[in-house]
Amino acid sequence: MAWSGSGSASSAASGGSFSVPGMSVSDIESRVAKIMGYSTSDTDALTAIDEAITAAGQAAMGWQGRVLWYAKGSGTFDTVDGTSAYDLHSVNSAAMVDLWAPTGIWMEDNFRFGKQSYEDYLSWITLNPTMKSRPYGYALYDDLYLGTIPIPDDAYTVTVGYVKRHSKLSGGAGLLSIPAQWHRPVYVDGAVYLLKEDTIDPSALSNSQNFQGSLQAIAAASPEEGYETQTGAMFPEDTRVIIDGGP
C-alpha cells in the first residue's frame, strides 16, 4: 500500500478527514451543567462553571510542581544598556502573554543564567552600581520582576522559559491548553469535583484521585519522550557475523 505524507490508511480509504477527539469550551460547559443540574442560560451558574473549568485547567498546568510538556512556553526580550530590572508582565507582553512562572533564563548562544536570591541581587547592584557587562545571573522578585547580574552593557536577546498560565474561560470562549484527548477527565471531571466541593482553588484537586490519575497518564504520554524503541547495536560486539554473498 502506498502511503501519502499525512493521514492514515483508514481515513484515506473512507474518504474522511482526521478529527481531534476533543471538546469545545461550550461542550465542556454543557456537560458540566448537565452533571451538576445547572443551566448554562443562568448567568451565575455559567460563571461558576467557567471558574471551575479554568481552575481545573490551571491545576493541570502545574501538577505536583512539574512542568508538563503542554505547559511549557518561552518568549524573548532585549536588555537595555544600563538597566538591570525588567517587568516580565510588560517587557514583551505579546510574546509572553500566558507567562505564569519562569523556569529558566538563557542567552542566544544557549548560555544559561544562574539563579540568585533577591537579597544577593540587591547586594550586588548596591555594591556595584556602575559595573556593567554581559549578564550571567538573575533574580526574581515582587510580581514577576527580573533583575540581571551584572547590569547589561548592551542590548542582549534573553529567552525566558516558563510555565504557562491557563486561559480564563468565559461564555464559550477561551483557549484550552490541555491536550484534546484529556479534555473530559481534566476539564469536565475536574470542574465537577470543584463545584461539588464548593471551591475554585486549583490545589483542591490534589485530593481527587481520579484527577491525579488522569494527570499521571498525561505525564506518561509526553511526546518529548518519543515512542521509538531503543534497539542498540544490531549485533553484540563479540559476535562474529558471516555475510553470505549469495550465488
End-to-end CA distance of the chain: 31
Write down the pLDDT at residue 25.
95
Write down the pLDDT at residue 221.
82
Write down the pLDDT at residue 36.
97
Question: Are the beta carbons of 28 and 178 closer than 8 angstroms?
Answer: no
Tens-level pLDDT at each residue, the chain (247 residues):
343 334 444 444 445 676 667 899 999 999 999 999 999 999 999 999 999 999 999 999 877 777 788 899 999 999 999 999 999 988 987 778 889 889 999 998 889 999 999 999 999 999 999 999 999 999 999 989 999 999 999 999 999 999 998 999 998 888 899 989 899 999 999 999 999 999 999 999 999 999 999 998 888 887 765 544 444 444 344 544 444 444 4
Write down the pLDDT at residue 224.
66
Q: Give the separation between CA 128 and CA 219, rounded to whole angstroms.
A: 44
Q: Which residue has the cell 544557549?
A: 110
Q: Which residue has the cell 474518504?
A: 15
**From the CB of residue 19, how many other CB atoms can be counted at a distance below 10 Å?**
8
Question: Are the beta carbons of 55 and 189 closer than 8 angstroms?
Answer: no
Write down the pLDDT at residue 68.
83
Coil vs helix vs strand at 137 = strand
